[in-house]
């Protein structure tokens, strides 16, 4: 939704973290997002990304951001990128799948159990999605998070699979969401993102699935009565550029960006996830009732929604991408963790160009600190011990 997109379009500024060009050549990018300016996501950009920008860019790259959907919806952004009116976009989960249909595999219901699994795949499949988007004339600046979306109700609580039957769900997310809700026998009301909040306020729909930050940002917390925080789906979000815009940057810019994207992204996602948790807690404190599903009901919901896997495989995403996804996920669940070689892959565009020992030591030090802040110690995600 809109909230997830703001994270992405702001991270676009990360590419400014390379040194200025000797000849003073200027670059100008126009980018767009549905997200409004001035919400909490921007604070982290100012605290984390903008200082890096100021220290190292010398002003050679100018980024103009069109906030709040003034350039249309996400389908419009992609069309404008194709004809050169925009050079980049920050996309919610809906737009991410428009840009790269294979990303829909990440939206399968109950695919992930937690963010450790998400981050493991984010690193392992980084090159896969970069290559897929390159074929489409796009460059993947970053795969960020929308959230593990929650189920919201202005009518009755959702406690069991049976509660979905006949419930009026507004859907904005795309085919995956519609197929899942129809499998649960819900009544589906498709809308475009700009009509989403109005549809709920006017009582046209009583239920929705989305991130807490969007519900708060859309000021729907006074309308919503119940929230079920079950991890029914993870929603990816992305920032992208046209390949033409990316290729115009000098090599020192792109190299510097690659070396910082993992470290900055980890810090940024950590803060965003904490924000999402705080927004959910704030709504509950305000009076929205949090619904807990008992283990039997949760298992029934997971089993029912996972029935769509065979329906969407090979249609919404390729068979190959599902095989790769499940392979990495099974590896993680079997105890495999990211090692230094995996992290180096996200820090270098060219495997033939070695990273300096000083940079590798810096990366290990800063990532170890970030992982502790993210509560990802105790070998939950990365093993940076000697020999790894």
Residue 168: per-residue pLDDT: 98
What pLDDT does residue 36 have? Answer: 73
pLDDT of residue 15 exceeding 70, the answer is: no
133 and 99 Cβ atoms separated by less than 8 Å? yes
70-74, 131-135, 161-165, 166-170, range with the lowest pLDDT = 70-74
Same domain, 219 and 318: yes
Spell out the residues 6+ positions from residue 237 whose beta carbon is closer than 8 angstroms to its own.
4, 5, 7, 8, 90, 91, 92, 93, 96, 143, 144, 145, 146
- Co-location of 131 and 25 in the same domain: yes
Tell me if 249 sits within 8 A of 15, measured CB to CB.
yes
**Dihedral angle computed from the Cα positions of residues 84, 90, 92 and 94, in that order, rounded to the nearest 10 degrees:** 10
Instruction: Judge if 81 and 129 occupy the same domain.
Output: yes
Give the pLDDT score at 16.
38
Q: How many domains does the chain have?
A: 2
Same domain, 201 and 347: no
What does the alpha-carbon distance between residue 274 and residue 58 come to, in Å, rounded to a whole number?
32
169 and 266 in one domain? yes
Residue 108 phi/psi, 5° resolution?
-55, 135
Tell whether 355 and 327 lie within a shared domain.
no
Would you give the DSSP letter of residue 92?
-
Percentage of the chain modeled with pLDDT above 90:
53
Q: pLDDT digit string (tens) for 334-359?
A: 999 988 888 887 877 666 566 778 77
Read off the pLDDT of each residue in 368-388 and give the average, rounded to a whole number: 69
Residue 24 Ramachandran class (φ > 0 left, ψ -120 to 50 alpha, else beta): left
**CB under 8 Å to 326, separation ≥6 — which residues?**
none
342 lies in the same domain as 372: yes
Mark whether 362 and 327 lie in a shared domain. no
Q: Which of 296, 312, 336 is the last residue of a domain?
A: 336
Question: Do 181 and 286 sit in the same domain of this protein?
Answer: yes
The C-alpha atoms of residue 229 and residue 335 are separated, in whole angstroms, by 27
Start-to-end C-alpha separation, the chain: 38
Contact 378, 372 (CB under 8 A): no
Query: Are 279 and 325 in a shared domain?
Result: yes
Last residue of a domain, one of 336, 361, 380: 336
Q: Is 361 found in the same domain as 264?
A: no
CATH code for the domain in which residue 271 is found: 3.40.190.170
Burial of 90 (0-12, 13-18, 19+ CB in 10 A): buried
Range of the domain at 208: 2-336
Q: pLDDT category, 14, cuts 50, 70, 90?
A: very low
The predicted-structure confidence for 46-105, as pLDDT tens digits, reads as follows: 677 656 655 545 678 778 888 888 899 999 999 999 999 999 998 989 999 999 999 999
Same domain, 236 and 270: yes
- pLDDT, tens digit, for every residue of 270-318? 888 888 899 999 999 999 999 999 999 999 999 999 999 999 999 999 9
Mean pLDDT of 8-34: 56
Helix (H) or strand (E) holding 239: strand 226-242
């Amino acid at each position: 939704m809109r909230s997830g997109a703001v994270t992405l379009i702001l991270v676009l500024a990360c590419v400014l973290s390379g040194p200025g060009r000797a000849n003073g050549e200027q670059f100008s990018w126009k980018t767009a997002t549905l997200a409004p300016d001035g919400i909490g996501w921007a604070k982290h950009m100012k605290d984390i990304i903008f200082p890096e920008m100021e220290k190292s860019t010398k002003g050679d790259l100018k980024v103009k951001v069109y906030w709040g959907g003034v350039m249309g919806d996400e389908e419009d952004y992609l069309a404008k990128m194709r004809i050169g009116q925009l050079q980049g976009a920050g996309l919610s989960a809906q737009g991410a799948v428009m840009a790269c249909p294979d990303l829909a595999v990440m939206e399968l219901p109950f695919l992930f159990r937690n963010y450790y699994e998400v981050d493991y795949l984010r690193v392992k499949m980084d090159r896969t999605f970069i290559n897929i988007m390159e074929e489409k004339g796009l460059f993947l600046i970053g795969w960020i998070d929308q959230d593990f979306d929650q189920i919201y109700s202005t009518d009755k609580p959702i406690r069991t699979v049976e509660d979905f039957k006949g419930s009026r769900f507004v859907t904005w997310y795309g085919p995956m969401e519609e197929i899942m809700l129809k499998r649960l026998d819900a009544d589906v009301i498709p809308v475009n993102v700009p009509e989403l909040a109005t549809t709920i306020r006017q009582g046209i729909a009583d239920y929705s699935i989305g991130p807490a930050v969007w519900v708060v940002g859309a000021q729907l917390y006074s309308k919503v009565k119940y929230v079920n925080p079950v991890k029914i789906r993870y929603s990816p979000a992305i920032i992208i550029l046209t390949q033409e815009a990316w290729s115009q940057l000098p090599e020192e810019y792109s190299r510097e960006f690659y070396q910082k994207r993992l470290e900055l992204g980890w810090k940024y996602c950590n803060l965003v996830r904490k924000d999402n948790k705080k927004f959910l807690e704030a709504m509950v404190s305000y009076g929205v009732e949090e619904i807990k599903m008992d283990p039997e009901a949760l298992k029934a919901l997971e089993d029912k929604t996972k029935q769509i896997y065979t329906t969407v495989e090979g249609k919404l995403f390729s068979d190959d991408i599902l095989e790769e996804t499940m392979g990495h996920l099974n590896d993680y669940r079997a105890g495999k963790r990211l090692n230094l070689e995996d992290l180096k892959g996200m820090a270098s565009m060219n495997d033939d160009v070695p990273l300096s020992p000083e940079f590798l030591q810096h990366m290990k030090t800063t990532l170890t600190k970030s992982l502790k802040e993210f509560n990802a110690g105790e070998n939950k995600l990365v093993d940076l011990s000697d020999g790894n």
